[in-house]
Amino acid sequence: MIELDINGTKRSVDAEADTPLLYVLRDHLAMNGAKFGCGLGQCGACTVMVDGEAVFSCMTPVSVLAGRKIRTIEGLGTVEQPGALQRAFIDEQAAQCGYCIAGMIMRAQALLEKNSSPSDAEIRRHMMPNLCRCGTHMRIVKAVRRAAQTMRAEADKPKSAGQT
């Protein structure tokens, strides 16, 4: 058994040590946000975050994840209350077929947690490992820019009484 911290919840999984995280997420935990695209770490459809870094889950064996924090698209928001990046991708219509979007959002989340005001060039450079075969790259950049603005505005809001 391997214990994983996924979206803040401890999950015990019975998997071989060399099993890719993507297969554990999809096959063992029914978390289908991360997609299988190439299995070679060349497309980014499987991107999740591990300790704040974007990683290809198809290339990451579960044996290296004990004690590390894993975040998936399921941990950013819900259908009823999407996270800032999810909302921006919806508002900017950044998805066409949608296959790459979970990976794109997770890679963008990793960027915005480190750099709340990235330039377009920084966004493009950071997003480069993830591919969108539908060609919505300009809308993806626009969505990341919009989410950055929203996240900065939310961070700048004064806390109301009782909030910490």
DSSP E strand stretches across 22-138: 47-50, 53-56, 69-71
**Residue 20 to residue 84: CA distance in whole angstroms:** 28
Q: 102: closest CA among 76, 125, 81, 136?
A: 76
- Confidence grade of residue 160 (pLDDT, cut at 50, 70, 90): low
Q: Cβ contacts of residue 103 below 8 Å, gap of 6+?
A: 34, 35, 37, 43, 44, 45, 46, 47, 130
Model confidence, pTM: 0.92
Q: Residue 38 above 80 pLDDT?
A: yes
Q: What is the pLDDT of residues 39-54, one digit of tens each?
A: 999 999 999 999 999 9
Return the pLDDT at 156: 87
**Residue 15 to residue 95: CA distance in whole angstroms:** 33
- Confidence grade of residue 164 (pLDDT, cut at 50, 70, 90): low
Residue-wise DSSP of 25-44: IIIIT---SS--S-SSSSS-
Could you tell me the domains of the chain? 2-75 (3.10.20.30), 84-156 (1.10.150.120)
